[in-house]
């Protein structure tokens, strides 16, 4: 008959069993948070709380997030949450997964991946985001513009300015909504090299683009002409200022 383990031996055994169970418990918690964060029937505060828990635990459960984000057969909402969480978790492995996902066949996943790369804030990803300004899906182009805003690379201003007036930014002569996002990204980056494009956008036929250009010019210049002026007077003031910058 074997002897009963000593108290110290029993404690060691319990600790070993607990350590073995932790990854399973942790992964179960991560999956539950994923389900809650992606559940459209839950109130937004509950979804956001689950997402924050997911981010906080993501460094230890990266395998769960990465596997779901890369699973093309998984629920799209859950994949989207996993991709966005990877951008907040950060780290080399998360970065590698996101880089691979910007070529995902599903536009929503490409959009989520490029925005998550923007969350990383690394200038080395600016060329990848810039390339997606030509994506067939408008939602991806808008997300790429948002990512370039977060990255803040001055070199992206030229590509954003070009995209603003590109033929595929119009449909049957009508301005597409993504153009406003290009203007906002230009203002967000805040470089004076964008002044010619913003000056041209002031008179754009799309009111959303024209209004966004006013806000973008204010960000680039560091001041605003809006106070005490009508919209038209503010535009005239910006034209005078912009001309002085271009010379």
* Distances, alpha carbon 80 to alpha carbons 4, 74, 128, in Å: 52, 10, 19
Q: What is the pLDDT of residues 107-158, one digit of tens each?
A: 999 999 999 999 999 999 999 999 999 999 999 999 999 999 999 999 999 9
Cα–Cα distance, 186 to 152 (Å, whole number) = 9
DSSP 176: P
Asked if pLDDT for residue 58 goes beyond 60, the answer is no
* Residue pair 126/97 in contact by the 8 Å Cβ criterion: no
The pTM score is: 0.82
Tens digit of each residue's pLDDT (9 = 90 or more) over 180-223: 999 999 999 987 788 888 989 999 999 999 999 999 999 989 99
Percent above pLDDT 90 for the chain: 57
What is the pLDDT at residue 54? Answer: 83
Mean pLDDT of the chain: 86
């Amino acid at each position: 008959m074997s002897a009963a383990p000593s108290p110290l031996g029993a404690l060691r055994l319990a600790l070993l069993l607990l350590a073995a169970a932790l990854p399973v418990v942790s992964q179960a918690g991560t999956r539950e948070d994923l389900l809650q964060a992606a559940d459209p029937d839950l109130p937004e505060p509950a979804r956001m709380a689950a997402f924050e828990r997911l981010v906080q635990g993501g460094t230890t459960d990266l395998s769960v997030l990465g596997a779901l984000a890369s699973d093309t057969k998984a629920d799209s909402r859950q994949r989207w949450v996993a991709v966005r969480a990877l951008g907040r978790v950060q780290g080399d492995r998360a970065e590698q997964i996101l880089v691979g996902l910007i070529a995902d066949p599903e536009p929503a996943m490409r959009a989520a991946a490029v925005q998550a790369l923007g969350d990383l804030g690394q200038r080395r990803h600016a060329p990848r985001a810039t390339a997606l300004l030509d994506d067939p899906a408008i939602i991806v182009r808008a997300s790429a513009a948002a990512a370039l805003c977060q990255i803040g690379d001055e070199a992206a201003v030229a590509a954003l300015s070009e995209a603003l007036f590109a033929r595929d930014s119009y449909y049957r002569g009508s301005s597409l909504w993504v153009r406003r996002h290009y203007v906002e990204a230009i203002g967000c980056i805040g470089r004076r090299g964008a002044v010619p494009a913003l000056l041209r956008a002031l008179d754009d036929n799309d009111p959303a683009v024209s209004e966004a250009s006013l806000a973008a010019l204010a960000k680039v210049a560091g001041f605003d002409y809006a106070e005490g002026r009508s919209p038209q007077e503010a535009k005239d003031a910006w034209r005078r200022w912009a001309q002085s910058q271009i010379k």
